[in-house]
Each structure stands twice: as C-alpha cells, then as structure tokens.
C-alpha cells in the first residue's frame, strides 16, 4: 500500500474513531453520573460514568500516582508514536493489518486524550452482561482497540499461510 493511501486511511480512521469516542464520553459525562445506573434492553446494557485511573479493567490503578501517570501517559504516547511509524512505513504490512494497527492507534489515542485532559483518568461508561455475568466498564475507544486486536488475530493465520507459501 502506498504511503499516500496509508496516510488517508490513518487520518480517516483516527478522525472517525477518536471523534466518536470523545463525543460519546462528553455526552456520557453530561447526562450520566457515577451513582445512578441507566439500564437498557432488559439490563443487558448499563450506562454509568466511571473514572478509570488504570489500564484495561482498572489494572494498575493502585500503582503510585507518578508511576501510573508516567506509564499510562508517557509510555502509551511513546508506543502510539512507534505504532504510527509502523503503520506509515512498514513494507511488509498488509492492508488489513494496517487497518487493524490504525484501530489500535485510534483507541489508544482516544484514551490518552482523556488522561491528558482529565488529569490521569479515562472516562468509561458502558457495561454489558446478563445477570451476574458482566463486562467491566468500558468506552468506545476500548471497543476500537478490541476490534483492531481481533482483526490482527483473525488475519494472522492467513498472513502466516501466505508467508509459508512464498
């Protein structure tokens, strides 16, 4: 894939995903609270604002504040810059892997923006489940990261098969 196409794909995905993520978080903070739960679809979907100082499912939230801020802000920013470089300049990346990595970049950037704006936490507000079996509280950026990871995982067997056929 040519560099110009990579740039266009990256910009479109970033604007779409980060934009939607930030808008949904803003709406969630305007209408939801940390104490009241909104329930939909027979309690399958719950909406409630949560401030996540850690990573996925709050992992690392008990780290000392300086370590947590450095790891989840500076460390993530560094990884995202590296990922952007890979997306734009990797000669071996397939179009589907470029899309997958761009989704990872978009989700990471959406959550990094939160950490920088809100002083170290990410706004989460969605919880899905049936009865006692529930996900943790998450946001749209988390969904984008999961979709990117699933695209990478499902694309790997095909990519490995193509490489072994060469």
Catalytic residues: 124, 142
In the chain, alpha helices (H): 3-31, 65-69, 76-89, 95-117, 140-165
Q: What angle do CA 77, 102, 19 make, to 5 degrees?
A: 80
Query: Nearest Cα to 10, choosing from 98, 114, 142, 141?
Result: 98
Segment holding 124, helix H or strand E: strand 122-130
């Amino acid at each position: 894939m040519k560099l110009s196409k990579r740039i266009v794909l990256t910009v479109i995905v970033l604007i779409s995903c980060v934009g939607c993520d930030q808008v949904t978080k803003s709406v969630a903070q305007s209408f939801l609270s940390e104490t009241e739960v909104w329930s939909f679809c027979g309690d399958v979907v719950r909406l409630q604002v949560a401030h996540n100082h850690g990573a996925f499912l709050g992992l690392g939230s008990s780290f000392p504040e300086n370590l947590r801020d450095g790891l989840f802000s500076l460390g993530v920013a560094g990884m995202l810059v590296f990922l952007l470089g890979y997306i734009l300049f990797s000669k071996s990346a397939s179009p589907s892997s470029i899309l997958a990595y761009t989704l990872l970049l978009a989700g990471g950037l959406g959550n990094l923006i939160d950490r920088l704006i809100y002083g170290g936490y990410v706004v989460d507000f969605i919880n899905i489940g049936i009865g006692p079996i529930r996900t943790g509280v998450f946001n749209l950026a988390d969904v984008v990261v999961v979709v990117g990871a699933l695209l990478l995982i499902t694309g790997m067997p095909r990519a490995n098969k193509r490489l072994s056929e060469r």
